[in-house]
Structure 1
Amino acid sequence: MDPMNEMEKLVAELNNYSYHYYTLDEPLVDDKEYDALYDRLLQLEQESGVVLPDSPTQRVGGELLKGFLPHRHLAPLWSLDKAQNLEKLSSWHTRARKLINDYNTKNPDTPLPEPTYAVELKFDGLTLNLTYENGRLVQAATRGNGVVGEGILEQIKTIRSIPLSIPFKDGKIEVQGEGIMNLSVLAAYNETASDKDKLKNARNAAAGALRNLDPKVTAKRRLSAYFYNIGYMDGIRFDTQQDMMQFLRDNHFRVNPYVSYFENFDDVIAQLEDIQTRRSGLDYLIDGAVVKITDMRTREVLGYTDKFPRWAIAYKFEAEETSTILESVSWNVGRTGKITPLARVEAVELAGVTVQNCTLNNIGDIERKNLKHALGTRVYIRRSNDVIPEILGKVSEENDGEEIVYPENCPACGFPLEQRGAHLFCNNKLGCEPQIVARITHFASRDAMDIETFSVKTATQLQSELQVREPADLYTLQFDDLVGLERFGERKASNLLQAIEDSKTRDLASFLYALGIPNTGKTTTRMLAEHYRDLDKIMNATAEELVELPDVGMIVAESIVEFFADPFMRASIEKMLELGVQPQVPEAPVVVVSDSYFTNKTVVLTGTLHTMTRDDAAARLEELGAKVTGSVSKKTDIVIAGEKAGSKLTKARDLGIEVIEDEEQLRQLLELE
């Protein structure tokens, strides 16, 4: 047989076997037979130098990529409105029925049918958008902002349940689904992984793998994917959701079996309750279910709001809760000297992961939740949004457990603790190792003084072996000090000293952020730098002056004043200045020659932007005459909301403030396009 013909035959045969194995769970051959055919194909490819586009040999992961390229979707990927309870779900249904009835009243000759419903699982993974052209997979992307995502084609090729070619050859389509890591696969992965490489949860494992620049890493995660929508169709239309799902099946896409169809909305509610009871038995994470009207013409009539389709809604399950035994409480020391309690609980499965540590926030939290006498007792815990679980309170109201003893002395250095409000603090700034290490690490971090090659390990070593006790001590280090340390050769010592030298001329905003002023972040320190343009003026500002500035309330103002009134901080800053640190004053504001859309507007940035950084966007806004602030208030004119915008976006909508969510529109208004 001609080698090319043999390769084409092998590719078709192997892809058919993969489809039956990974998508249908119906293997046709054993592993030995598959491997023999695969090895023969690999041999032919090596001998001929030709690799067919849909060859299964492309699934092992290619070379390391330099970066992700933006991909503009052929059709928008819409978000879904959310219902947190049955009342909100019923309100959505009532609105949809009213729109359908209104349309039918106005169009009696072409009425819409009675609505029927599809209920699908809402996967907790990473949204995928695959582009097929004439049957070939030509691109794959993340959701991004719904208009532009990141191209991840090489990563997607490693998922064996995703077809590299499909039977539909008559145009271009975009297929949407969710990339996931099965819980059983996560467990197997962690059994052989080192402690350092163990994966904490399935959702982050899937998202991290698909956004890893090394496709070989993606391949090792053994991801899967389910598909549920066609966002763009060239040359094909569907009458119902059922027709579209059948098209996906016919074209070898993996469709989740838990898709149900109902004519009665009461049955939809019953199905949602059933899914919640079966949730813990699934081999993947879900955080709810999606309800859709099935008729495609009805969808066209109902249309979309600015952000959501009116014909679908996500029913979000409540954060999963369970109970377990509170075994112990340890006390950790932070950068500012704050002592934070961390609870150790009896290991329990919650939302797809094994939980052993829970947050307790502070001693005020312990008192408020009646946990003072809770050691050894059963407590309720809740895990939401993949953050460390929270202890909600005791199962029993009785004081039937051992007492959580609050420390009187610092657990790290033994220094007497001071209580301020609900928190305990260690004031031993120069003698408490965790404080010193955290403070120096923060000072050297990228958003602060950006000292390259610096790490927590470096800070720990400098503290323990060279008695570096504060950031100012970094500028006293000598070559001979460093080169004698373990793991410090001449090159590493020279590189670190050069990085420290380079940091002396960082801008004033970065220097202020590096100092770690309580209750201030990058936005506030940048505003202080641009307003005062002088370190001495900032250090001597009064609370009355500061509170007049944007986003500075009395708590923040007093924090700034108290920080610079601290003799320790003053001495440290003076020492840095004497050693050559020269924070650079920002350039004078650019004079706006002509009005722009943002001239004299107060603007807040929130969420993640994908075509520029938030700092770049803020700088451009100020060039166009805007005032960029960090919090939303009645004085705010515009909120620019990127992906995963949270409470600021919600507050903006509540206050009726203009919101810009389309990144392409933003770039046009910023006069970048």
Structure 2
Amino acid sequence: MDPMHSMEELVAKLNQYNYHYYTLDAPLVSDKEYDALYDQLVSLEQESGIVLPDSPTQRVGGEILKGFTPHRHLAPLWSLDKAQNIEQLRSWNARAVKLVNDYNSKNPDSLLPQLQYALELKFDGLTLNLTYTDGRLTQASTRGNGTVGEGILEQVKTIKSVPLTIPFHEGTIEVQGEGIMNLSVLAKYNETAAEPLKNARNAAAGALRNLNPKVTAERRLNAFFYNVGYAENITFTSHKEMMDFLRENRFKVNPYLTYFDNFDDVMEHLAEIEQTRSELDFLIDGAVIKITDMRIREIMGYTDKFPRWAVAYKFEAEETTTVLQSVTWNVGRTGKVTPLARVEAVELAGVTVQNCTLNNVGDIERKNLKFALGSRVFIRRSNDVIPEILGKVTEENDGEEIIYPETCPACGFPLEQRGAHLFCNNKLGCKPQIVARITHFASRNAMDIETFSDKTAIQLHDELNVREPADLFTLQFDDLIKLERFGEKKANNLLDSIEKCKTRDLASFLYALGIPNTGKATTRMLAEHFRDLHKVMSASVEELVALPDVGDIVAESIVSFFADPFTQAGIEKMLALGVEAKAPEAPKPVSTDSYFNGKTVVLTGTLHQMTRDEATSRLEALGATVTGSVSKKTDIVVAGEKAGSKLAKAQQLGIETIEDEDEFIRLLNQQA
């Protein structure tokens, strides 16, 4: 076959695979198959000396550029007016309603339709303006001042979700979007980076405005698109029509794009986005509301800076800067000693922040924080978790040194550094470890000893010499009744609860032991697979790695944990004192005549007639596989009230959705 023809076929095939992988999140082939075709294309290009303009080999980044070339946008890139609160949003809407009503009263022969709204995420990255001429990407630029930006074509070509060619070949169009770095990609990058990146927004902006495209390529950026700013030979009647055009031309459109007829519904979904923003794998700093009808947009027009038909609603900031004041060191139940930073009090995401996590000494080194005491630092808070320090604002070592402890801050035992972490190995004599192990053992998801708390664990440690979970089963009424705040009733209740917990199942017992690097899902899987405590204890690394979702690190953790004589002795003592660690019930036969048998199902939103766990159990009993994310492999998405991005993505991919809970219940109860 002619080499040119072979290259054209390979380029078309690889670009198709790229589109499904990076834009649709629905891979068609394995990485191994893709790599084999890619290598074949590289060989042909080297042999022939020819590289096709849309070849995926052009995404790795070319030579260092001498500077940025100015690019004058074909149509202005407008800023958005901002609403700081719900009242300002309602005022914006009231003005829009009045304008439409005034127009209709004066123009009865050409009435404007009722207002409809599109609600989109407001990405926190760098605005991109892409120019396509006759279907080929010919320029890419930053927003700049809205009229002229900087040409960054070579950098943008490295973003694999940006199409190099599109099906629309009729003249020139300009498409706007946002260049971002996914948070998971940032975390992975920082694991090995010589200079960790402080946050995803700066990482994306810095990569796209870097004169070396190879640096851009290394950061594996992503992009979402939301507007056609200029177009020859095509017009749109609505925002939805425009977004459909973008999808049809292989641009990545974020699935969280919803349309509403009622402005109150927009307000309700705004609140949902704000509540769930921490679940996203990219930064947003708000949401954008747009009026969908293009004729209304034209009549509403623009101010000097903003379109009147759109408004941005800013959320509480999740990132800010403050001063790092001090660092203290805390001991956990595994003996790990972790740093806790005290910062100058600052308002962030609606709360006053004074403490931040630093993870470990390796984290301090990677983030250039070793000499940061008294310096200004970036901090980030997501959801309700303790905020994290991302790095110093300046690169200089202009602060005081953070001193790493050499002995345990609780018991004085010499510390050992393993990897990036410091450990106290004094399991039998370090109070914070002992108290944390006992409290975890008694917690609800573990042995569920009612009324037990960390205060109880401290009291038992200090006054009754309780040093390990097994000691709980030796407690006597006469011992407890002597303790402060322990009356007869409280003593009996605790002893009764300890007695009841002896019959907890194997999965709960394994979780209660606190095996490092394992959670509830892993311990349940171990219990269901081995169905015997001693078989779990004697399992080899090879046996464990063969199980679903168990990698080398988790397998090594499990084997090392049960190889410890201290652990073995504690377990045998508990068994001798009546702890059963019962094997789970034999799995019930799966129904094969159900609507859900053999299908992969995703649950999203709020169900009112059963809990999410109950729905999962019912589906699994009917032969379904329940997963947490929507992909091309998903067969059905069950959407409860306030279902968000998962439902939107399912609709985008054409996946079957069940949005009526009564219908879902009917199908659960129905036998084929």
Question: Given the two structures, how large is their TM-score scaled by the length of structure 1?
Answer: 0.54
- Whether the 8 Å contact between 1:357 and 1:389 is mirrored in structure 2 is yes
SS in 2 for 1:325: strand
- Whether the 8 Å contact between 1:550 and 1:629 is mirrored in structure 2 is no
Q: Give the match for residue 449 of structure 1.
A: 447
Q: Give the match for residue 554 of structure 1.
A: 552
Distance of 2:265 and 2:341 partners within structure 1: 44
Superposition RMSD in Å: 4.6
Letter of the 1:83 partner, please give it. Answer: K
SS in 2 for 1:581: coil
How far is 1:404 from its partner?
0.4
Q: Give the match for residue 325 of structure 2.
A: 327
Letter of the 1:559 partner, please give it. Answer: S
How far is 1:269 from its partner?
7.2
Q: Give the match for residue 83 of structure 1.
A: 122
Q: Give the match for residue 100 of structure 1.
A: 238
How far is 1:612 from its partner?
2.7
How far is 1:94 from its partner?
3.5
Distance of 2:376 and 2:651 partners within structure 1: 41
How far is 1:411 from its partner?
1.2
The share of aligned pairs that are identical, in percent, is 69
Distance of 1:402 and 1:603 partners within structure 2: 53
Residues 169-196 of structure 1, C-alpha deviations (whole Å, 9 max, x = no match): xxxx988856999xxxxxxxxxxxxxxx
- Whether the 8 Å contact between 2:601 and 2:634 is mirrored in structure 1 is yes
Is the alpha carbon distance of 1:320 and 1:496 closer, same or farther for their aligned partners in structure 2, counting shifts above 3 Å?
Answer: closer
Q: Give the match for residue 27 of structure 1.
A: none
How far is 1:371 from its partner?
0.5
Q: Give the match for residue 518 of structure 1.
A: 516
How far is 1:639 from its partner?
6.9
How far is 1:479 from its partner?
0.4
How far is 1:505 from its partner?
0.4
Is the alpha carbon distance of 1:320 and 1:511 closer, same or farther for their aligned partners in structure 2, counting shifts above 3 Å?
Answer: closer
| 1:391 corresponds to which of 378, 389, 394 | 389
Distance of 1:431 and 1:486 partners within structure 2: 24
1:572-587 alignment, distance < 5 Å: 572-587=570-585
1:585-624 alignment, distance < 5 Å: 585-601=583-599, 610-624=608-622
How far is 1:463 from its partner?
1.2
Q: Does 1:563 align with 2:602?
A: no
Is the alpha carbon distance of 1:667 and 1:79 closer, same or farther for their aligned partners in structure 2, counting shifts above 3 Å?
Answer: farther
Residues 129-160 of structure 1, C-alpha deviations (whole Å, 9 max, x = no match): xxxxxxxxxxxxxxxxx9xxxxxxxxxxxxxx
Q: Give the match for residue 410 of structure 1.
A: 408
Residues 322-360 of structure 1, C-alpha deviations (whole Å, 9 max, x = no match): 322211001111222222211111222334432211221
How far is 1:484 from its partner?
0.5
1:36-75 alignment, distance < 5 Å: none
Letter of the 2:534 partner, please give it. Answer: D
Is the alpha carbon distance of 1:664 and 1:373 closer, same or farther for their aligned partners in structure 2, counting shifts above 3 Å?
Answer: farther
How far is 1:638 from its partner?
6.3
Distance of 2:518 and 2:654 partners within structure 1: 27
Letter of the 1:486 partner, please give it. Answer: E
Q: Give the match for residue 342 of structure 1.
A: 340
How far is 1:390 from its partner?
2.2
How far is 1:380 from its partner?
2.3
SS in 1 for 2:496: helix
1:260-339 alignment, distance < 5 Å: 270=306, 291=310, 319-339=317-337
- Whether the 8 Å contact between 1:82 and 1:315 is mirrored in structure 2 is no
SS in 1 for 2:236: helix
SS in 2 for 1:575: helix
Distance of 2:631 and 2:466 partners within structure 1: 43
Letter of the 1:527 partner, please give it. Answer: M
Q: Give the match for residue 501 of structure 1.
A: 499
- Whether the 8 Å contact between 1:599 and 1:626 is mirrored in structure 2 is yes
Letter of the 1:94 partner, please give it. Answer: V
Distance of 2:554 and 2:659 partners within structure 1: 29
Distance of 1:101 and 1:413 partners within structure 2: 64
User: For structure 1, which segment, 522-531 or 487-496, has the greater mean C-alpha deviation from structure 2 after superposition?
Assistant: 522-531
- Whether the 8 Å contact between 1:604 and 1:636 is mirrored in structure 2 is yes
Q: Give the match for residue 356 of structure 1.
A: 354
Q: Give the match for residue 479 of structure 1.
A: 477
Distance of 2:427 and 2:654 partners within structure 1: 46
How far is 1:650 from its partner?
11
Q: Does 1:532 align with 2:530?
A: yes
Q: Give the match for residue 302 of structure 1.
A: none
Is the alpha carbon distance of 1:641 and 1:413 closer, same or farther for their aligned partners in structure 2, counting shifts above 3 Å?
Answer: farther
- Whether the 8 Å contact between 1:84 and 1:315 is mirrored in structure 2 is no
Q: Give the match for residue 93 of structure 2.
A: none
Residues 459-515 of structure 1, C-alpha deviations (whole Å, 9 max, x = no match): 111111111111111111010110110000011100110000000001111111111
SS in 2 for 1:98: coil
Is the alpha carbon distance of 1:344 and 1:661 closer, same or farther for their aligned partners in structure 2, counting shifts above 3 Å?
Answer: farther
Q: Does 1:435 align with 2:433?
A: yes
Q: Give the match for residue 21 of structure 2.
A: none
Letter of the 2:228 partner, please give it. Answer: T
Is the alpha carbon distance of 1:547 and 1:601 closer, same or farther for their aligned partners in structure 2, counting shifts above 3 Å?
Answer: farther
How far is 1:446 from its partner?
1.3
SS in 2 for 1:670: helix
Is the alpha carbon distance of 1:426 and 1:665 closer, same or farther for their aligned partners in structure 2, counting shifts above 3 Å?
Answer: farther
| 2:378 corresponds to which of 374, 377, 380 | 380
Distance of 2:227 and 2:421 partners within structure 1: 47
- Whether the 8 Å contact between 1:84 and 1:317 is mirrored in structure 2 is no
Distance of 1:101 and 1:489 partners within structure 2: 69
Distance of 1:263 and 1:392 partners within structure 2: 46
How far is 1:611 from its partner?
3.7
- Whether the 8 Å contact between 2:592 and 2:623 is mirrored in structure 1 is no
Q: Does 1:543 align with 2:582?
A: no
- Whether the 8 Å contact between 2:378 and 2:389 is mirrored in structure 1 is yes
Residues 552-587 of structure 1, C-alpha deviations (whole Å, 9 max, x = no match): 222222222222222221111111110000122222
User: For structure 1, which segment, 605-614 or 403-412, has the greater mean C-alpha deviation from structure 2 after superposition?
Assistant: 605-614
| 1:464 corresponds to which of 462, 465, 475 | 462
Is the alpha carbon distance of 1:479 and 1:622 closer, same or farther for their aligned partners in structure 2, counting shifts above 3 Å?
Answer: same
- Whether the 8 Å contact between 1:84 and 1:318 is mirrored in structure 2 is no
Is the alpha carbon distance of 1:624 and 1:504 closer, same or farther for their aligned partners in structure 2, counting shifts above 3 Å?
Answer: same
1:208-247 alignment, distance < 5 Å: none
Distance of 1:418 and 1:395 partners within structure 2: 31
How far is 1:637 from its partner?
6.4
Is the alpha carbon distance of 1:344 and 1:653 closer, same or farther for their aligned partners in structure 2, counting shifts above 3 Å?
Answer: farther
Question: Given the two structures, how large is their TM-score scaled by the length of structure 2?
Answer: 0.54
Q: Give the match for residue 32 of structure 1.
A: none
How far is 1:267 from its partner?
5.0
SS in 1 for 2:669: coil
Distance of 1:369 and 1:479 partners within structure 2: 52
- Whether the 8 Å contact between 2:317 and 2:348 is mirrored in structure 1 is no
Is the alpha carbon distance of 1:386 and 1:671 closer, same or farther for their aligned partners in structure 2, counting shifts above 3 Å?
Answer: same
Is the alpha carbon distance of 1:475 and 1:628 closer, same or farther for their aligned partners in structure 2, counting shifts above 3 Å?
Answer: farther
How far is 1:527 from its partner?
1.7
Distance of 1:467 and 1:634 partners within structure 2: 56
